Structure 1
Amino acid sequence: MEFLTVAALKQQAGEQPQRLAVDAELQGRSERQTKAGKPYLVLSFADATGSFNLNAWSDAPLFDAASRFTDGTVLRLDADWTQNKYGLNAGNLAWERLDGDALESFYAGDAETAERQRVAWKTISDFCATINDPRLAALTAHFLEEYGARFRRAAAARKNHHARRGGLAEHVAQMMRSADAICGVYPELNRDLMLAGVLFHDCGKLWENQYAEKGFAQGHSIYGEMLGHIPLGIELANKLWHEVADSPAAKGWLTEEPPSEHVRIHLLHLIAAHHGQYEFGSPTLPRTPEAVALHHIDNIDAKLEMMKDAYQESAELADGIYEKRFPLPANQVAPLPSHPGKGDAPQTDATPPRSELF
């Protein structure tokens, strides 16, 4: 039998039961009650590609067995899987604990995700190496050196988008590609500041959405719970800035333009304003072109990732129409494919040559 990843299970499970097996790590459990007052458990599972919840009803064997599972237990779940708008369901469920080579293979993750995240990390490193401002170049290099391993483990969220081990690196890499492209279209934007802002905008999630060195259970920290990633990010970026500013290489910064203090406060503003609105948890509103651009780049990447997942996991209500998936606002419609004969867009008087854009 083929053992699927969580992402593949979500893609294949539908309204009709399919006998499938998935390897997943138990992240945690919560006790609930039905409207009739019967207890049940919500078990959270995850692997390298994603996560899901599974209900264990009081009259099912899994309910009693779950009391013997500690968080971090890795199970092979073999069941008749279905999926609806509330999530995955497992009928006729059988399970076994993984150990030995099977357990080590699980921790290694699937090859596709590992390669995608390797490319993402290289993208981040390569873009940071192109930053010209010596202060931002030193700051980003210091961050990647000091916190690179922790960064590569973090998720971009607990749910909705890039909610997986290594998801933050994927999110940041794609945002850097977008930022670089947008700076080519709007050359008045400060490219160095944009790239540094993308790198640091979610750096507080190294504590808010972090994973242990081994495993796929996203942990909780007192810092993430009590402060949140925006204040944590501001504090970390400020701390690293002062560490770099005290280095011998920083002696020449006194004559740099724009002044170093202006660079620092503009970077901190990008972290503070990237949620864009007070009601979305932003402590301030975007007040610079870079802050506006960064907010929308962040939102675009998150929304498109959610849409990609929804196409793969949502039920098809009619041909090309997919059931609404929270937090997206409506049912999705299949995107229009590109014309197979389309090449580069024709040059017009309104379109500058590519050499002037990039």
Structure 2
Amino acid sequence: MAPVTLGALVRKLNGSKDSSVESVYIQLAGIREGRTAAGKPFIDLEAADSTARVKFKIWSDSQAFTYLQQSREGDVAELSGRFLVNDYGLNVNQPELEALTDAQSDALLAGTPERQERLALDWKLFQETFGSLQDARLRTVALLALESYEKKWKRAAAARSYHHARRGGLLEHTAQMLRCAIALAPLYEEVTPDLLYCGVLFHDIGKLWENDYAETGFTSQPVRKGELIGHITIGVEVANRLWHEASQKDPAAFAPDGKPSPDLVRDHLLHLIVSHHGELEFGSPVMPKTPEGWLLHHIDNIDAKIEMLRGAYLESEEVAPGLVQAKRPMMGLIARPLSGG
């Protein structure tokens, strides 16, 4: 039986009363033992792969329960059984777990061929867009951000939940935002495209630390820097450091008499980082005060919200014809799109 992905299982069984015998390669992202009120033991297993994270309740009368008692978080395994979707989401009956071979483990960590291709296209978009910026200062600092942190870009998540909360999710989110920015920038003469594009790149760069993933896995552990400082402040720190490195690399481009001056351009870039949440109550220390600031905020919000809708369409059951339950932070019922997604 060829393994499937968690995401494929959710799509296959969501909205169906049927069950299916399947196997899936997973990382054991979370293992928590507990007991019911009646004293029956169980383990809450959080399983992860490149497409999704799913929580399963593994009961003590299964082979998988015994296997998990001898396992550690971060281990990889093949989970097989009869999968179904009920009121609690994706579940598995008669679950069994078996250790992966090295080859199987490598296949799990690489992700599906489709996902590998998508991330490669996103990275190519980064390289082509930022390598062709007209402003030499913004071009140099952007390319440094790619060269210095390539591995982090390809594994960090955009969030811990809500949207793009998966390995490589930050790259996906940022690349899609960049496509939106490229489409919108020419429509407004007040907008400096190079600045907007760099704002997209740098707005969440602090999440390379706040939401970084292990080099070999699908789990993101909180780190001191992310918890104590937060991604906006980290982003300002990183942007300032890279700006200094870029000025040392190409002093002529950063000459003080440049038009506009390097300090002015840097201040505008930093403003995009600190204002991109759009509201003080949402964590931005200042509101957007430039055309690029407002565009960036709304582009960010659009892509995040569409991803939240996409997640609900995939994972929530239909509660009435054409209506599904929204997933947090959205509330209530949402309608399926005319496209049939």
The answer to whether TM tops 0.5 is yes
Answering whether residue 21 of structure 2 is matched by residue 9 of structure 1, we say no
Cα distance in 1, alignment partners of residues 334 and 163 from structure 2: 16
Q: CA deviation at 1:148?
A: 1.4
Cα distance in 2, alignment partners of residues 308 and 85 from structure 1: 19
Q: CA deviation at 1:104?
A: 2.1
Is contact 1:85-1:323 (8 Å) kept? no
Is contact 1:85-1:314 (8 Å) kept? no
Give the counterpart letter for 2:210 in structure 1: E
Cα distance in 2, alignment partners of residues 293 and 216 from structure 1: 32
Alignment of 1:190-269 (within 5 A): 190-250=192-252, 253-269=255-271
Q: CA deviation at 1:215?
A: 2.2
2:281 aligned to which of 279, 282, 293: 279
The SS at the match of 1:188 is coil
**What residue in structure 1 maps to residue 305 of structure 2?**
303
Cα distance in 2, alignment partners of residues 85 and 274 from structure 1: 37
**What residue in structure 1 maps to residue 178 of structure 2?**
176
Percent of paired sites with the same residue? 43
- For normalisation by structure 2, the TM-score amounts to 0.92
Is contact 1:84-1:314 (8 Å) kept? no
**RMSD of aligned residue pairs (Cα, Å):** 2.1
Deviations 1:174-208 (A, max 9, x none): 10110111112112111111000100111111111
The SS at the match of 1:255 is coil
Q: CA deviation at 1:325?
A: 2.2
Give the counterpart letter for 2:5 in structure 1: T
- For normalisation by structure 1, the TM-score amounts to 0.88
**What residue in structure 2 maps to residue 47 of structure 1?**
49
Is contact 2:256-2:262 (8 Å) kept? yes
2:96 aligned to which of 82, 94, 97: 94
Cα distance in 2, alignment partners of residues 271 and 38 from structure 1: 50
Q: CA deviation at 1:50?
A: 2.0
Give the counterpart letter for 2:249 in structure 1: S
Answering whether residue 182 of structure 2 is matched by residue 164 of structure 1, we say no
**What residue in structure 2 maps to residue 25 of structure 1?**
27
Deviations 1:207-242 (A, max 9, x none): 111122222222332211222211111111111111
Cα distance in 1, alignment partners of residues 221 and 120 from structure 2: 23
When residues 277 and 58 of structure 1 are mapped into structure 2, their CA distance, relative to the original with a 3 A threshold, is farther
Cα distance in 2, alignment partners of residues 52 and 272 from structure 1: 33
When residues 267 and 321 of structure 1 are mapped into structure 2, their CA distance, relative to the original with a 3 A threshold, is same
2:110 aligned to which of 91, 108, 111: 108
1:72 aligned to which of 74, 81, 91: 74
**What residue in structure 2 maps to residue 292 of structure 1?**
294
Deviations 1:322-348 (A, max 9, x none): 23322223322121249xxxxxxxxxx
The SS at the match of 1:41 is strand
Cα distance in 1, alignment partners of residues 53 and 69 from structure 2: 20
Cα distance in 1, alignment partners of residues 238 and 87 from structure 2: 39
Cα distance in 1, alignment partners of residues 151 and 19 from structure 2: 40
Q: CA deviation at 1:37?
A: 7.0
Alignment of 1:120-131 (within 5 A): 120-131=122-133
Cα distance in 2, alignment partners of residues 182 and 251 from structure 1: 27
When residues 66 and 235 of structure 1 are mapped into structure 2, their CA distance, relative to the original with a 3 A threshold, is same
Cα distance in 2, alignment partners of residues 89 and 188 from structure 1: 52
Cα distance in 1, alignment partners of residues 136 and 219 from structure 2: 38
Cα distance in 2, alignment partners of residues 114 and 145 from structure 1: 19
When residues 38 and 102 of structure 1 are mapped into structure 2, their CA distance, relative to the original with a 3 A threshold, is same
Bigger mean CA deviation after superposition, 133-142 or 207-216 = 207-216
Q: CA deviation at 1:251?
A: 5.7
Alignment of 1:341-356 (within 5 A): none
**What residue in structure 2 maps to residue 141 of structure 1?**
143
Q: Structure 2: 5+ residue runs without aligned partners?
A: none
Bigger mean CA deviation after superposition, 317-326 or 299-308 = 317-326
The SS at the match of 1:265 is helix
Is contact 2:54-2:90 (8 Å) kept? yes
The SS at the match of 2:277 is coil
Is contact 2:63-2:96 (8 Å) kept? no
When residues 226 and 84 of structure 1 are mapped into structure 2, their CA distance, relative to the original with a 3 A threshold, is farther
**What residue in structure 2 maps to residue 314 of structure 1?**
316
Cα distance in 1, alignment partners of residues 314 and 122 from structure 2: 22
Is contact 1:325-1:331 (8 Å) kept? no
